[in-house]
Amino acid sequence: MIRIEHIEALYLLILIPFFFILYFMYVKRKKKHLEAFAQKELLEIIAPQISFGKQLTKFILLNVAYLFIVLAIANPQIGTSIEKSQRKGTDIMVCLDVSNSMLAEDIKPNRISRAKQSLKNLIDQLKDDRIGVVVFAGSAFIQLPITNDYGTAKTFIDIIDPSMISNQGTAIGEALTIANEGFGEVKNKSKSNRSRSIILISDGEDNQEGALEVAKTIAKEGVSISTIGLGLPEGALIPEQNKTSKTKQYKKDVNGSYIMTKLNEDILKNIASIGGGAYIRANNSSIGLEEIMAKINKMDKNEYETLSYQNYQSRFYIFAFIAFVLLIAEMLIFEKRNKYINKELFLGKTKEKTQ
């Protein structure tokens, strides 16, 4: 297992493209000044030692050395042993609506972006809990299997987008079923030692039938279901995902009328009531995950076994040594052409022409 001790140091790599831009600006300006002094053919005679190729080679070596110096500062480490440990936490499956209606902007910047942002903020507050994500629209699937790898979880959440599911709708019942199945082995443990919760985030619109029956079945298994309503009851327009158009356009129906998406609180309240959880209507200051998590944290915790790497050993010296070798190589390369190396060493001594 490899980890980076000082991962923030990698931001220094952003400077490399700027180094190249400045270098090529410098070379262009230098060539312009030389051309103003004499023609190219004449420069070959009066200043044959100038070598822009060698200068470029030295510059590239310096940048590669800089890259390895940054990696050395970041200090990559390798875990040398695996250790089993027991943890207690809550298992949470989040069902996130990714239908096109979630692009509405009544919750800023829009419903789905705000939900993703809040989920990542929630992950930052987790300790020994596990989290998984189900995305749904007209169908549903597990986008993130339940895990305690919070870095991976946030990466998966970043890529969530309505384009992930082509068929539209709001298959809440299917999403709840898949989320319940996503708990996996936890379902087989005794009811006295488990804490399983589902958090449903949706606008509740265009819901398929059967969601309440599914919620009842899941609740009988001891799973808590809370819901968060995203949007406003009065509704909002749905922006079109069109990157080529400079002006914002909105979805229309077959008759050419704009489509309004409205929050359907009734279905979300009923699911939360059946599931023994809470219903929160999101607003621009909070979508309600904090309140729901406060309630979840009062539940009994699951005990589960995890594997983790221990005894990490630093490997910064490998990258530091490579950087040192590159810097030595850069110093040994002459910036100017060497007459002996270019002619006498490879071509032999040339005889002077006599008139």
Residue 150 and residue 117 share a domain:
yes
Same domain, 111 and 255: yes
Are 303 and 322 members of one domain?
A: no
The pair of three-digit structure tokens given for residue 68, joined into one six-digit string: 């390895």
Full residue range of the structural domain in which residue 37 is found: 2-75+315-347
Residues 142 and 277 in one domain: yes
pLDDT for 54: 78
**Which CATH number fits the domain that encloses residue 112?**
3.40.50.410
Residues 144 and 18 in one domain: no
pLDDT tens digits, one per residue of 272-315: 999 999 999 998 888 888 888 888 777 766 665 555 555 678 88
110 shares a domain with 35: no
pLDDT for the residue 223: 93
Phi/psi region, residue 281 (left: phi>0; alpha: psi -120 to 50; beta: rest), is: beta
Does residue 133 contact residue 94 with C-beta atoms inside 8 Å? yes
Residues 218 and 273 in one domain: yes
Is the residue at 353 inside a domain? no
Q: Which residues of 62-80 are buried (b: 16+ CB within 10 A; e: fewer)?
A: ebbbbbbbbbbbbbbbeee
191 shares its domain with 268: yes
Give just the sign of the alpha carbon dihedral 296, 151, 187, 308. Answer: negative
pTM of the model: 0.63
* Ranges of residues in the chain whose predicted pLDDT is under 50: 187-193, 341-355
In the prediction, which pLDDT does 265 show? 92
Verify that 243 and 299 share a domain, yes or no: yes
Peptide bond connecting 109 to the previous residue in cis, omega within 30 degrees of 0: yes
pLDDT for the residue numbered 114: 92
Residues 303 and 319 in one domain: no
Q: Across the chain, where does the E strand assignment appear?
A: 2-4, 76-89, 91-97, 130-136, 140-147, 196-202, 224-229, 236-237, 260-261, 276-281, 302-314
Residue 239 lies in a domain: yes
Q: What is the pLDDT of residue 286?
A: 83
pLDDT at 304: 58
On whether both 9 and 44 belong to a single domain, the answer is yes
CB-based contact 310:83 (threshold 8 Å): yes
Nearest alpha carbon to residue 308 among 147, 189, 193: 147
Instruction: Count how many domains the chain has.
Output: 2
Q: Are residues 153 and 250 in the same domain?
A: yes
Average pLDDT of every residue of the chain: 82
